[in-house]
């Protein structure tokens, strides 16, 4: 235990130097800014800033880059809540209830709760990293393809819960998402599927492309129809402090979201991405009145926002302890470490303790800066909405296009976003919700990859999924969840039939 | 007859004039920012090479070298872009062995790997290392081959994807040793390493970045793939000397211009890069990743590229991997 205190005090002595405080602030500010700009994500920003870090000491460089990463998680929720534009996959879920709250004039509380929830999650996850990083990474390694597959299966069943309308439509959307996820090179053979000779499609369709099209673009098209209600977000949004009821409703969601996100973030197979979805599903399941979800339930903002921030924080664990980057941004951080001449891996903690603990301590400092920065900014963001629609939305569209282009420098991505925007509009007219589609799209490829890997490793024996306890548990849980969904639906159907007779 | 004379005279005048223009062009080169295409997303080893060289080039030439990451489709998208760029010396490409592998792996490439590029220089050469999980009893390449022979089709090897150099290095290994080991492809080196560390797969051909896990005892290195031992781990024998004579795989990184780039410019970039490669800090940077600097001439690099394409063509055929 004294070790931890020694380590942390070493960390803070590094993080609290004037220079490192400055770089943490720069990172947090930049991160918030690019998080708010739709589409321009941390990946493009860190890539652009990488040359600048050459001449910085390694600790300062990593502190700044990490700040950009978790700053973007804070900022990303802002546009989701205000204009239904998810900056990245993790903030898609925030659109569902955040935007609904904004339309009711409660953008302020939504933003405040998401900032406070993120702060709590960030701090807790930092403590978790400081105390348990090495054993947690060991635990995460025990997750093999078998467990990943079962986790994804559970997630997919849960996807249906995301919808608040028709069950059949939700299932249809999940499947559509799964099919879209098939596009691209097959992992095992390398053969191209559904790319129609377009090489740009060989790595599949981007998540941001689909998310921005289905949520943001379609909402903009849809808004053009509602001439009168378009300026829903008027003067009454001035009050931004959440009420006592809001706090009461959200604190448990924040706790659960943090726990869920912290755990999923550790998994090197991209678990952080699904943590916000998982948290939303959990909150909706546990709610006394699930029908409020999708219509401005504050738990639906608090839970997922905390989960994605906790996940973002703990996804540093595999990078720092094993040298394995769990996502593209972490891969870039690994690149930054390489350029600094640091070989990432288990020895970093021993050979460069000032680096390891300095970065961890700076996460806490950075989170504090972010919440101090973000709470007063809420007032400014809300005022942004009083900019006339005819000026605000073309500007947003332009930023979206720049953002989507900056992902892979492909014009095709921008065109695809537009196509998905139109498709999203059709979905709105048909009352089909895009969230289950997106989850299907994210989980589908992961599920396929792990299913096939598990079967390759077991030489085609499907019983492996039931032989391993964690996997068996998750499969049973998904079966149970499926029953919980089907039984009430079936009962309703039967009642309808009786009534007709 | 008359017009032939005229033509001849024109050529006689034009050729020296042209070469004069060219050399003037080469002297003023570079007078604007240079684009360096990396056909991978930022963060990988190729990106690392490009950024180290780009940074030093910017300093010595006073012109910004912009790293342009164009990942996707197994590096073929970015490579195609470089093939079609104006051959004026303001666009160059940095690649890995995949450049040579893709020539055979992809049935329909929009460029010709040999004809559409002017080799500049090979930057570095790095070994892959054959690593096994600590639970695998084999202590040497010889013992591993014996183990695989006693358990045909029971061991697994991970790779960072079908048709990547880590996959094909293993294919070359299994065909040369005559053993049957099952290929488990992953999406990138990270997840492959994770499953190797956990022991879900038994072996892997990987970059030297795994060294820290070897030191910690979780993984065991059996040999380096190169013909010579690596300076980073001099104790580790080569695979060829410890059980599989003739085996050689080189993870190399090189720079190319689009074909038709004036020769003066090719040699100017070549000389500058070679100078950079021999700087002490650059050498140390590459050494930290297990890469040893090469810096050969464009002619030598052209011969090397041709040999690599031919070598991998055969392995790709053996592996059955194919992308159309």
User: For position A256, what pLDDT does the model report?
Assistant: 93
Number of H helices and number of E strands within chain B? 11, 11
Q: Give Cβ neighbours of residue B197 (< 8 Å, ≥ 6 apart).
A: A141, A322, B133, B213, B218, B219
User: For position A87, what pLDDT does the model report?
Assistant: 67
CA-to-CA distance for A437 and A169, rounded, in angstroms? Answer: 10
User: For position B1, what pLDDT does the model report?
Assistant: 47
Q: Which of residues 270-289 of B touch A (CB under 8 A)?
A: 284-285, 288-289
Name the percent of chain B lying above pLDDT 70: 90
Shortest Cα distance from B189 to chain A (angstroms)?
A: 8
Contact A51 B288 (CB under 8 A): no
CA-to-CA distance for B212 and A347, rounded, in angstroms? Answer: 6
Predicted confidence (pLDDT) at residue A22 exceeds the cutoff of 90: yes
Using the CB atoms, write b or e for A383-410: b if 16+ within 10 Å: eebeeeeeebbeebbebbbebbbbbbbb
Instruction: Check if B217 contacts A (Cβ < 8 Å).
Output: no
Residue showing tokens 């990463």: A69
Kindly state the average pLDDT of the residues B255-267: 91
Chain B residues in contact with A189 by the CB 8 A cut-off are 162, 321
User: For position A159, what pLDDT does the model report?
Assistant: 74
Q: Which residue has the higher pLDDT, A40 or B240?
A: B240
Give how far Cα A96 sits from Cα of A42, A193, A229, B128, B177, Å.
23, 32, 19, 48, 57
- pLDDT tens column, B68-85: 888 877 888 889 989 999
CA-to-CA distance for A143 and A155, rounded, in angstroms? Answer: 16
CA-to-CA distance for A275 and A155, rounded, in angstroms? Answer: 10
Instruction: Check if B163 contacts A (Cβ < 8 Å).
Output: yes
Work out whether the CA dihedral A484, A90, A360, A372 comes out positive or negative.
negative
CA-to-CA distance for A34 and A88, rounded, in angstroms? Answer: 11
Chain B residues in contact with A190 by the CB 8 A cut-off are 74, 105, 161-163, 321-323
Of A199, A269, A346, which has the smallest distance from its Cβ to B73's Cβ? A199
User: For position B308, what pLDDT does the model report?
Assistant: 92
Return mean pLDDT, chain B: 87
CA-to-CA distance for B257 and A70, rounded, in angstroms? Answer: 39
B324 pLDDT band (50/70/90 cuts)? low
Q: Give Cβ neighbours of residue B161 (< 8 Å, ≥ 6 apart).
A: A187, A190, B74, B167, B185, B186, B187, B188
User: For position A396, what pLDDT does the model report?
Assistant: 82
CA-to-CA distance for A394 and B307, rounded, in angstroms? Answer: 54
Name the percent of chain B lying above pLDDT 90: 50
Of B185, B190, B216, which has the smallest distance from its Cβ to A325's Cβ? B190
Name the percent of chain A lying above pLDDT 70: 91
User: For position B309, what pLDDT does the model report?
Assistant: 93
Number of H helices and number of E strands within chain A? 23, 2
Contact A144 B322 (CB under 8 A): no
Kindly state the average pLDDT of the residues A485-491: 73
Contact A345 B43 (CB under 8 A): no
Predicted confidence (pLDDT) at residue B154 exceeds the cutoff of 60: yes
The ipTM of this complex is 0.80
CA-to-CA distance for A125 and A311, rounded, in angstroms? Answer: 8
Distance of CA A422 to the CA centre of its chain: 24
User: For position B6, what pLDDT does the model report?
Assistant: 57
Q: Are B142 and B179 in contact (CB under 8 A)?
A: no
- The Cα diameter of chain B in Å comes to 84
Residue showing tokens 């055979």: B104
Of B76, B200, B323, which has the smallest distance from its Cβ to A191's Cβ? B323
* Beta partners for residue A184, in sequence order: A193
Contact A203 B73 (CB under 8 A): yes
- pLDDT tens column, A177-218: 999 999 988 888 778 888 888 878 888 888 888 988 888 888
């Amino acid at each position: 235990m004294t070790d931890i205190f020694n380590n942390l005090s070493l960390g803070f002595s590094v993080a609290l130097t004037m220079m490192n405080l400055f770089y943490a602030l720069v990172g947090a500010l930049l991160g918030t800014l690019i998080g708010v700009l739709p589409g321009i994500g941390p990946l493009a920003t860190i890539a652009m800033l990488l040359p600048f870090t050459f001449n910085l000491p390694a600790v300062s460089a990593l502190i700044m880059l990490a700040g950009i990463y978790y700053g973007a998680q804070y900022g990303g929720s802002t546009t989701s809540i205000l204009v239904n534009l998810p900056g990245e996959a993790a903030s898609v879920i925030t659109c569902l209830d955040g935007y609904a709250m904004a339309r009711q004039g409660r953008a302020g509380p939504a933003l405040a709760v998401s900032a406070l929830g993120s702060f709590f999650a960030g701090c807790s996850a930092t403590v978790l990293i400081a105390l348990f990083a090495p054993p947690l990474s060991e635990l995460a390694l025990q997750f093999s393809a078998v467990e990943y597959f079962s986790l994804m299966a559970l997630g997919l069943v849960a996807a249906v819960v995301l919808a608040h309308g028709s069950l059949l439509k939700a299932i249809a959307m999940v499947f559509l998402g799964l099919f879209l996820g098939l596009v691209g090179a097959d992992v095992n053979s390398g053969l191209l599927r559904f790319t129609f000779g377009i090489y740009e499609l060989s790595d599949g369709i981007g998540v941001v492309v689909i998310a921005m099209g289905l949520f943001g673009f379609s909402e903009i098209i849809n808004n053009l129809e509602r001439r009168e209600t378009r300026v829903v977000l008027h003067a009454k949004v001035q009050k931004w402090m959440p009420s006592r009821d809001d706090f009461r409703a959200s604190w448990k969601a924040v706790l659960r979201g943090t726990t869920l996100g912290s755990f999923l973030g550790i998994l090197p197979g991209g678990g952080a991405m699904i943590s916000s979805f998982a948290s939303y599903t959990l909150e909706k399941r546990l709610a006394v009145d699930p029908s409020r979800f999708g219509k401005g339930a504050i738990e639906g903002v608090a839970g997922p926002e905390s989960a994605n921030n906790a996940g973002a924080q703990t996804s540093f664990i595999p990078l720092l302890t094993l040298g394995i980057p769990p996502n593209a941004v972490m891969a870039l951080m690994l690149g930054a470490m390489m350029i600094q001449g640091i070989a990432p891996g288990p020895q970093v903690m021993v050979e460069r303790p000032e680096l390891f603990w300095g970065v961890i301590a700076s996460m806490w400092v950075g989170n504090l800066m972010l919440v101090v920065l973000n709470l007063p900014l809420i007032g400014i963001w809300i005022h942004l909405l009083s900019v006339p629609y005819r000026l605000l939305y073309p500007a947003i569209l332009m930023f979206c296009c720049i953002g989507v282009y900056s992902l892979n420098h492909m014009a095709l991505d921008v065109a695809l976003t537009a196509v998905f925007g139109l498709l999203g509009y059709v979905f709105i007219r048909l009352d089909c919700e895009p969230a289950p589609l997106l989850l299907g799209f994210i989980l589908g490829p992961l599920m396929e990859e792990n299913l096939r890997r598990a079967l390759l490793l077991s030489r085609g024996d499907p019983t492996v999924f039931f032989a391993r306890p964690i996997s068996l548990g998750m499969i049973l849980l998904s079966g149970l969840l499926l029953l919980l969904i089907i039984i009430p639906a079936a009962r309703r159907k039967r009642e309808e039939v009786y009534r007709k007779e | 007859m008359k017009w032939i004379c005229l033509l001849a005279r024109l050529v006689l005048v034009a050729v020296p004039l042209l070469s004069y223009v060219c050399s003037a062009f080469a002297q003023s080169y570079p007078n604007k920012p240079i684009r360096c295409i990396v056909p991978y997303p930022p963060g990988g080893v190729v990106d690392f090479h490009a950024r180290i060289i780009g940074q030093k080039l910017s300093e010595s030439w006073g012109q910004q070298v912009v790293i342009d990451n164009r990942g996707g489709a197994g590096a073929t998208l970015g490579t195609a872009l470089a093939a079609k760029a104006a051959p004026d010396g303001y666009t160059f490409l940095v690649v890995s062995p995949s450049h040579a592998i893709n020539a055979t792996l992809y049935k329909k490439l929009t460029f010709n790997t040999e004809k559409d590029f002017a080799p500049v220089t090979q930057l570095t050469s790095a070994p892959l290392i054959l690593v096994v999980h600590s639970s695998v009893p084999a202590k040497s390449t010889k013992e591993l081959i014996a183990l695989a022979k006693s358990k045909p089709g029971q061991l697994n090897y991970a790779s960072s994807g079908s048709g990547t150099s880590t996959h094909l290095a293993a294919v070359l290994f299994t065909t040369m040793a005559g053993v049957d080991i099952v290929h488990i492809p992953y999406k990138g080196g990270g997840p492959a390493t994770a499953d190797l560390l956990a022991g879900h797969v038994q072996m892997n051909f990987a970059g030297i970045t795994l060294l820290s896990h070897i030191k910690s005892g979780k993984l065991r290195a059996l040999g380096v793939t190169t013909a010579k031992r690596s300076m980073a781990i001099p104790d580790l024998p080569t695979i060829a000397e410890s059980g599989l004579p003739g085996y050689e795989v080189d993870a190399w990184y090189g720079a190319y211009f689009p074909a038709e780039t004036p020769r003066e410019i090719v040699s100017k970039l070549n000389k500058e890069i070679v100078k950079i490669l021999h700087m002490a800090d650059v050498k140390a940077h590459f050494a930290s990743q297990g890469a040893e600097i090469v810096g050969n001439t464009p002619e030598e690099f052209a011969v090397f590229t041709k040999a690599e394409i031919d070598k991998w063509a055969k392995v790709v055929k053996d592996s059955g991997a194919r992308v159309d």
